[in-house]
Amino acid sequence: MADIIKLLPDHVANQIAAGEVVQRPASVVKELLENAIDAGASTIKLIVKDGGKNLIQVVDNGKGMSPTDARLSFERHATSKIQKAEDLFNLNTKGFRGEALASIGAIAHVELQTKTEGDEVGTQIKMEGSKVISQEVMVTPKGTSMLVKNLFFNIPARRNFLKSNQVELRHITDEFHRVALAHPGIAFHYYNNGSELFNLPAVNYRKRIVQIFGGKTNPKLVPVEEETQVVKITGFVNKPEFAKKSRGEQFFFVNDRFIKSPYLHHAVVAAFEGLIHPNTYPGYFLCLEVDPATIDINIHPTKTEVKFDDEHTLYALLRSTIKHSLGQFSVVPAIDFDQDPNLNTPYSFKDKQAELPKVAVDATFNPFAESPSTSQSVSGGNSGGYSSFSKPSAKGWENLYEGLGDKKESSNTVSSIEFESEVITGSIFKEENEEEESVTTTFQLRRKYIVTTIKSGMVVIDQGRAHQRVLYEKFLKNITIKEAVSQQLLFPLSLSFSNADVAILNEIQGQLTTIGFAFSVLEKDKVEVTGVPLQVAESEVGMILEQLISDYQMEIVGDSFSQTDILSKTLSKTLSVKTGTILDNASQLALVNDLFACKEPGLSPFNKPTYITITENDIDKKFI
């Protein structure tokens, strides 16, 4: 039998390895930024074009590489981070496997420029698909510039699986946030298609959070700090009242490395137990420092998952630390039995006695006495300090009750009492010759359901879901045919968002305009709204836009139809009638008619039933 196992060629092996390291342009950004940090850079520039598909460039002022190191850096498993197997259990750097540059060089056009501080000139290397095209001497500043062009140029199938430029840029921005938050002492600059997105000077951790997520984040933060023999915990958590329905601002860093840990996330949520509503999540920015020998960071290709030796201890420490911080900064409601010093008697009043108030009373004052004129003073009024007044005569007061006995006793009925829904029905059993009236009757049940009759029985409608379906189809129609009416505001409404949030609003500004929103300013962290749809109240604009942004962050979409769908779903969910709202008969009937005029009345936009039908047979079975 012939041998069938063969060694793969190097270029094929490199492409297979590249599939583990590089899933999308954001993976390249992560690897290059981590290399720049390991090089000791104090300033790092990130430049991308077309969502990173055509250009990714990272420039740093680190220590650079010699010509030999620059050439060896593109070989597989060539690294300066580890020397022996024991070093894998004492890692203090980002990258260590030596696969990043080899994998990137196998699937893109790469240009490297680097120079150390002691050398007079630097080195330039150009590669295409793992092949070195040229290596030349050139003049370049100290540090390293890595330029990656035409990602997946030799693997068209992988390139076709990439999303739109906006979606890929959002992933790159997420990676940039993670690296920038983990290293506040490093200055970062981020450019996209020639425009500057972020300019972050070196600051402390709190200011770095505010730089990235906007000034509105600063009052939300509660400091967290604790140091034990097992772990050192620092960072911030958001106050309970700012908990969101989406998992947005949640960051864990272990030894300056971003990680995802559902177990530690549960510890944070447990610390907020009883302080936040169900199905909401707190925001946090937590840094953990542990002994490198107690964690294993090589269990996942992207190194975003780590394994701890003693997770139970970390869980308990993290939960108790956050609880302590929330109580220490008076975030948790508490009962204080101490006496308020403001209620104590001042020292100067120590020996003073209480004085009875003096009230002057005119004992001769008769309220039924007739006053001759409006200007005449009441007798004895000067002593009591009363001003002159005129009192109308009480003569003939018996005439006020004349005619009351002639009124019908029907005034004592309860016909004026208003119920949640007044139902006017005829007799239960109609006469044979009585003509059927085509009048639809409805009533509201528990301020949540609308009950109406049909030929075969009755229909119970969930008013919230039904209104969501009506609004959803209405917004879809308005966006498609672009005929929405906008209500202009008398004074522009100024809102504050982070740069990433404003980028999302810019991306969907066209759809927002077609349904009635109007913006005068939409740049960096400032948003000015000058018009809103007719159904939207001015006080709800900020909440609607925040919910819309969070939905976009949760559901990464690319095509315009998906953007329109998410926009319509968010607005319908936010503006729909909520449980507990009282509807009058006209509103109930209008909602029923609008629901059954929809193309898909049976389901809400979130695929939940809007109504159920109870037939006459179902009712008969209950009486068997």
> For 12-24, how does the pLDDT look when each residue is reduced to its tens digit (9 = 90+)?
777 777 767 788 9
Whether residue 382 is predicted with pLDDT greater than 60 in this model: the reply is no
pLDDT band at 349, cuts 50/70/90?
low
Alpha helices in 482-623 (DSSP H): 499-507, 509-514, 541-554, 560-575, 585-596, 616-622
Question: What's the pLDDT score for residue 307?
Answer: 84
CATH number assigned to the domain covering 213-328? 3.30.230.10
pLDDT of residue 433: 47
Cβ atoms of 155 and 15 within 8 Å: the answer is yes
Note the pLDDT tens digit of each residue in 130-151: 889 999 999 999 999 999 999 9
Task: Among 332-341, 514-523, 566-575, 586-595, name the one with the lowest average pLDDT.
Answer: 332-341
b/e code 420-458 from CB counts within 10 Å (16+ = b): ebeeeeeeeeeeeeeeeeeeeebbbeeebbbbbeeeeee
Kindly state the average pLDDT of the residues 310-318: 92
Class of domain 462-596 (CATH, top level) = alpha beta
Query: In the predicted model, is pLDDT for residue 333 greater than 50?
Result: yes
Class of CATH domain 10-200: alpha beta
372: pLDDT strictly greater than 60: no
- pTM tops 0.75: no
* Residue whose C-alpha is closest to residue 232's, from 183, 304, 272, 286: 286
**Binning pLDDT at 50, 70 and 90, where does residue 356 land?**
confident
H-helix segments, 256-337: 262-271, 311-328
Least confident of 293-307, 457-471, 530-544: 293-307
Q: Which of these, 483, 467, 444, 487, lies nearest to 575 by C-alpha position?
A: 467
Domain boundaries, the chain: 10-200, 213-328, 462-596
- The tokens describing 95, both together, are 């990258």
The whole-number pLDDT of residue 374 equals: 47
Q: Tokens at residue 391, please?
A: 């009192």
Strand 187-192: give its sheet, edge to edge.
131-138, 122-128, 109-115, 143-149, 55-60, 43-49, 187-192, 195-200
CA end-to-end span of the chain, whole Å?
79
Q: What is the pLDDT of residue 397?
A: 66
- 157, containing H or E segment: helix 156-160
**Is 462-596 the same fold as 10-200?**
no
pLDDT confidence of residue 391: 56
Q: With pLDDT > 70 as the criterion, what percentage of the chain qualifies?
A: 80
Query: Residue 365 has what pLDDT?
Result: 82
45 pLDDT more than 90: yes
Is the distance from CB of 260 to CB of 252 less than 8 angstroms?
Answer: yes
Residue 581, pLDDT above cutoff 60: yes
Q: Are 127 and 109 in contact (CB under 8 A)?
A: yes
Per-residue pLDDT tens over the stretch 183-219: 999 999 999 998 888 999 999 999 999 989 888 889 9
Quote the pLDDT of residue 435: 46
The confidence band for 405, taking pLDDT boundaries of 50, 70 and 90, is low
- Extract the tokens encoding 381: 């009024």
Tokens standing for 157? 């199938």
| Residue 377, pLDDT score | 47
Per residue in 168-189, pLDDT (tens digit) is: 988 999 999 999 999 999 999 9
The pLDDT score that the predictor gives to residue 190 is: 94
Q: What is the pLDDT of residue 336?
A: 54
Length of the chain: 624
| Torsion 11-16-19-20 (CA) sign | negative
Lowest mean pLDDT among 19-33, 269-283, 297-311, 376-390: 376-390
CA 555 to chain CA mean position, Å: 12
Instruction: Name the 3-class secondary structure at 427.
Output: coil
Asked if the model's pLDDT at residue 591 lies above 90, the reply is yes
CA separation, residue 188 to residues 184, 202, 259, 300, 497 (Å): 9, 8, 21, 27, 20
Q: Which has the higher per-residue pLDDT, 299 or 125?
A: 125
Tell me, what's the pLDDT at 609? Answer: 94
Would the pLDDT of 450 be above 70?
yes
**pLDDT (0 to 100) of residue 560:** 58
Of the CA atoms within 13 Å of residue 206, those in its CB half-sphere come to 12
Which comes out higher in pLDDT, residue 417 or 281?
281
d(CA 568, CA 480): 11
pLDDT mean across residues, the chain: 82
How far apart are alpha carbons 608 and 602 in whole angstroms? 8
Separation CA 91–CA 298 (nearest Å): 10
> What percent of the chain stands above pLDDT 90?
38
| C-alpha torsion angle, residues 586, 588, 591, 596 (rounded to 10) | -110
Tell me what pLDDT residue 604 has: 93
